Amino acid sequence: MAEKDNDIRDQAVAWVIRTQAADFAKWEEFTLWLEADHRHNLAYEKVLSAVDNLSDLTVSITQAKSEKTVFPKPANDEYITPERLPNRRRVMFGAIAASLVVAVSAGVWTQMPQPYDVMTGPGEREIVALPDGSKITLNGNTKIALDHKRPRYARLVGGEALFTVVHQQNDPFVVDTADVRLVDAGTEFNVIRTADALDVTVSEGLVIYNPDRENVSLPAGKRLYRPAAKNRVTVSTIAIEQVGSWRTGRLSFAGETLGEVAAALDRNLPVSIAVSPDIAGRPFSGVIQLDGDGQQNIEPIAAVLGVQAKKTGKGWILIGDDAVP
């Protein structure tokens, strides 16, 4: 929890710097970030408060020095009196002073250039707004690694994430996961990485799979699937509206194993969902619509899958029809 709070604080600092710029125009992305988690707004206000406090401190120090110390004027210099800043938040002097704000208030900015992780628990969602206007929507049980020095890069450690990327011709957005590199050409795409498989679906633009090796182009409406045990990939067609449909509680499957189905349920529900090894490899095709609050009984879902659901101490486990519940 502390690590996630630190990530939110880092994001708030970045947003404070951006929103103070005179040409800032990404208000929609900023609003999405604020609404994604109630803690975002609290963190943002705390950073703004630190800016104000530093502003007062800076003015006080400047005045004190001018009152106590008078330096002789060099004969070959012309002294220019600095202008008073009309808005005290401008004491930040852009990103440099913002770094001082964080260093004074919480010691965060010194950590910002370092890589950092964003994680979600079961059934949690998180929207990460990036400085270029791109955003990453994390499903439950997901972890990504980001770096303030590389704002156009992300590493999906595990789970599921939807990437909505602002296109930059000379600076493509790169997503690494396991031994795979995905390069975007201005697009929206969904990536699932589990122990069983890699699943990439594209709803807009173009994604290139391993451009230095296989160099597979995935335009909108295409899906790339690679089982973990194989290097061979399969490319198929997918309805665009299915890409990232988990955000509305609609889970679509086309021949995935019950192990992968259980992993999807585990990401989207606030309870643990496991599957018996005896049926984990069984394929399933169909659609599962989750309730709005994600608290529904798992047994009806198990019936759709043609299996049974057994309650456990941590959640549920899917078992075969012939197993004893």
For 150, other C-beta atoms within 10 Å of its C-beta total 12
Kindly report the CA angle at 56 between 53 and 49, in degrees rounded to 5?
Answer: 20
Cβ-contact 293, 271 below 8 angstroms: no
Per-residue tokens: 285: 């095709």
Tell me the C-alpha distance between 317 and 325, whole Å. Answer: 10
Tell me the C-alpha distance between 185 and 211, whole Å. Answer: 12
Give, rounded to a whole angstrom, the gap between the first and last alpha carbons of the chain.
35
> Which residue type does 146 have?
L
> Which residue type does 282 have?
R
User: For the residues of 83-137, what is the DSSP string, one character each?
Assistant: PPPSSGGGGGTHHHHHHHHHHHHTS-GGGTTSEEEEE--TT--EEEE-TTS-EEE
> Which residue type does 165 have?
V
pLDDT computed for residue 40 by the predictor: 85
Structural domains of the chain, with CATH: 2-111 (no CATH), 115-242 (2.60.120.1440), 249-319 (3.55.50.30)
pLDDT computed for residue 3 by the predictor: 57
Global pTM reads: 0.65
Cα dihedral 313→315→320→322 (10° resolution): 40
Residues in the chain, overall count: 325
Tell me the C-alpha distance between 19 and 155, whole Å. Answer: 26
Nearest to 199 by CA among 249, 159, 239: 159
pLDDT computed for residue 114 by the predictor: 61
Per-residue tokens: 54: 């530093």
Q: Is 282 exposed, middle or buried (0-12, 13-18, 19+ CB in 10 A)?
A: middle
pLDDT in 10s for each residue of the chain, 325 residues:
555 666 788 788 888 877 776 666 777 777 787 878 778 877 877 777 776 555 444 444 444 444 444 434 444 344 333 333 344 333 333 443 444 344 333 334 334 446 789 999 988 999 999 988 899 999 999 999 998 888 899 999 999 999 999 988 889 999 999 889 999 877 899 999 988 889 999 999 999 999 999 999 999 999 999 987 677 899 999 999 999 999 999 999 988 899 999 999 999 998 899 999 999 999 999 999 987 655 557 889 999 999 999 988 878 999 997 765 5
Residue 190 DSSP SS3: strand
Q: Where are any strands of DSSP class E within the chain?
A: 115-119, 126-129, 135-138, 143-147, 150-164, 174-177, 180-184, 188-193, 197-204, 206-209, 216-219, 222-227, 234-237, 250-257, 272-275, 283-289, 308-311, 315-319
**Could you give the angle at which helices 2-19 and 27-36 cross, rounded to 10 degrees?**
160
